[in-house]
Amino acid sequence: MKKVISFVLVAVLLMATTITASAFEAVADGYTRYEGENGTIVGSNAPNGLGTDTGEQFSNGSAAGYLDVGRAKFADLDATFSNTAHVELTVTAAASGTADVIVGYTCADDALLVAIQANDGAPVEVPLVPAKGNTAVQLDLKEGENTVYVSTTILDEAGAQHGWVNIDYIDVKSAEAGAVVEDTAAPADETPAEEAAAPAEELPETGDTSVVPLLVAGAACLLVAVVANKKLRKNVLN
CB-based contact 114:165 (threshold 8 Å): yes
Is 74 within the bounds of a domain?
yes
Model pTM score = 0.66
Is 108 within the bounds of a domain?
yes
Is 162 within the bounds of a domain?
yes
Is 193 within the bounds of a domain?
no
* Amino acid 140: pLDDT: 97
Is 101 within the bounds of a domain?
yes
Tell me the residue range of the domain where 99 lies. Answer: 2-184
Is 237 within the bounds of a domain?
no
Distance in angstroms (rounded) separating the CA atoms of residues 132 and 111: 13
Count of the separate structural domains present in the chain: 1
Distance in angstroms (rounded) separating the CA atoms of residues 70 and 156: 14
Nearest C-alpha neighbor of 104 from the set 162, 150, 145: 150
Is 126 within the bounds of a domain?
yes
CATH code of residue 111 = 2.60.120.260
Tens of each residue's pLDDT in the chain, 238 residues: 455 444 444 444 444 433 334 467 899 999 999 999 999 999 999 999 999 999 999 999 999 999 999 999 999 999 999 999 999 999 999 999 999 999 999 999 999 999 999 999 999 999 999 999 999 999 999 999 999 999 999 999 999 999 999 999 999 998 765 443 344 344 445 444 444 444 444 434 433 434 334 334 444 544 444 444 444 344 434 3
Is 207 within the bounds of a domain?
no
CB-based contact 138:99 (threshold 8 Å): yes
CB-based contact 64:45 (threshold 8 Å): no
DSSP for 192-228, written as a single string:
-HHHHS--GGGS--HHHHHHHHHHHHHHHHHHHHHHH
Distance in angstroms (rounded) separating the CA atoms of residues 128 and 22: 13
* Amino acid 104: pLDDT: 98
